[in-house]
Amino acid sequence: MITNRQWRLRRRPEPGEIPGTGHFDFAVEAGPKAGAGQVLVRTLVLGTSPAQRGYISTSRSMHDKVPVGGVMRGRGVGVVVDSHHDAFAPGDLLTASLGWQDYAVITPTAESMSIMNIARLTRPVKPSSLHLGLLGGAGATAYFGLLDVGLAKPGETVVISAAAGGIGSLTGQIAKIAGCRVVGICGSDEKCTWITRDLKFDAAINYRTQDIDARLRELCPGGVDVYFDNVGGDTLNTVLDHLARRARVVICGWISTDYASGPQTGPANYKNLLRQRARMEGFYIFDYLARWGDAESRLREWYEAGRIDPCEDLDDGLEKMPETLASLFKGTNKGVKMNRVAPDPE
């Protein structure tokens, strides 16, 4: 008889309120059983994404809402413990939406078996967390955003916001591998030191203590060729004023304005796109499923050659999961934030 610990949504955070322990209930119940065509999975690692705030907030979001009382939705890596499905055997590793719980029952179908839904890991690596971070959504978003949308080329200047976050820290390293000059914007001196000293970014700007406009004038006298934007808002507006001729602005996310209360304003400096014949383009990683393998192979190659640090920031224990998610909005994470729920199998 197994027991299943779960985090269930108690109440929705109001606009401006960071989700935390008070919004969830920690429940313990009898573990689930897999029926015909189903697979029972033990959660090993859970990932985080700013989008999860949208799953539970009162604001409009492009994602389906988790119902009050429902298990919090979240993607993870798990190991199969019981299978009634031909494609899975006990011991197989997979990634899927497992939820914030120890055990999940999944129902693989022809439609649901894909890299961003239910995916058996055919070349598993250790630690398994790599399949959520560098070799998962964070790595693929950094890779396609920078190289496919941003078209970063050797010798160009790349600026990245939330540069010490999951996607930002990987994007900066990929830009260095691509031969670019890289400037990161992030929220503490400690993060600035980390990205320049350990990740080899060329320069860093602490947006909380420094004037981004003045620092960009100093650090990017020839202008910014690629701006990879994770935060939107005032930072986006300021960087728009520093674009080089034919620059590319990659809209990956807008965490600074996502769940703020009150009206949202657009970037007044968008006019510089015309002056500099520049381009601003949003992208969504789900549009890259067909080419996912390209990113995974290149990232795996760089990882095995010691050219890229996976920048994992792991909490330990399912009971910490609300705080694990909150760290993205408090800015206390460094790298790809995840939670280790159970040890990897031998």
Ligand X SMILES: NC(=O)c1ccc[n+]([C@@H]2O[C@H](COP(=O)([O-])OP(=O)(O)OC[C@H]3O[C@@H](n4cnc5c(N)ncnc54)[C@H](OP(=O)(O)O)[C@@H]3O)[C@@H](O)[C@H]2O)c1
Determine the size of the site formed for ligand X (CB under 6 A).
29
Residue 253 engages ligand X in binding (rule: CB under 6 A): yes
Alpha helices in 50-103 (DSSP H): 51-56
Which stretch in 69-77, 82-90, 213-221, 248-256 sits in contact with ligand X by CB under 6 A? 248-256
Residue 172 engages ligand X in binding (rule: CB under 6 A): no
The SS3 of residue 320 is helix
> Which own/partner contact pairs does 291-298 have at CB distance under 8 Å and 24+ positions apart?
291/144, 292/115, 292/116, 292/140, 295/139, 295/140, 295/143, 295/144, 296/135, 296/139, 296/140, 298/143
Considering only 13, 19, 50, 139, the residue that binds ligand X (CB under 6 A) is 50
Residue 82 C-beta: closest distance to ligand X, Å = 32
Residue 133 CB partners (closer than 8 Å, separation 6+):
47, 139, 166, 170, 310, 311, 312, 335, 336, 338
Residue 154 C-beta: closest distance to ligand X, Å = 25
Considering only 325, 328, 338, 341, the residue that binds ligand X (CB under 6 A) is 328
Q: Rounded to the nearest 5°, which phi and psi values hold at 340?
A: -85, 110
Residue 74 engages ligand X in binding (rule: CB under 6 A): no
Q: Specify the DSSP class assigned to residue 111.
A: T
Contact positions with ligand X (CB under 6 A) in 190-209: 191
Residue 76 engages ligand X in binding (rule: CB under 6 A): no
Which stretch in 35-43, 165-173, 270-278, 304-312 sits in contact with ligand X by CB under 6 A? 165-173
Residue 186 engages ligand X in binding (rule: CB under 6 A): yes
CA angle 33, 38, 39 (to 5 degrees): 70
- The site for ligand X (CB under 6 A) is made up of 49-51, 138, 141, 162, 164-168, 186-188, 191, 230-231, 252-253, 255-256, 283-285, 328-329, 331, 333, 337
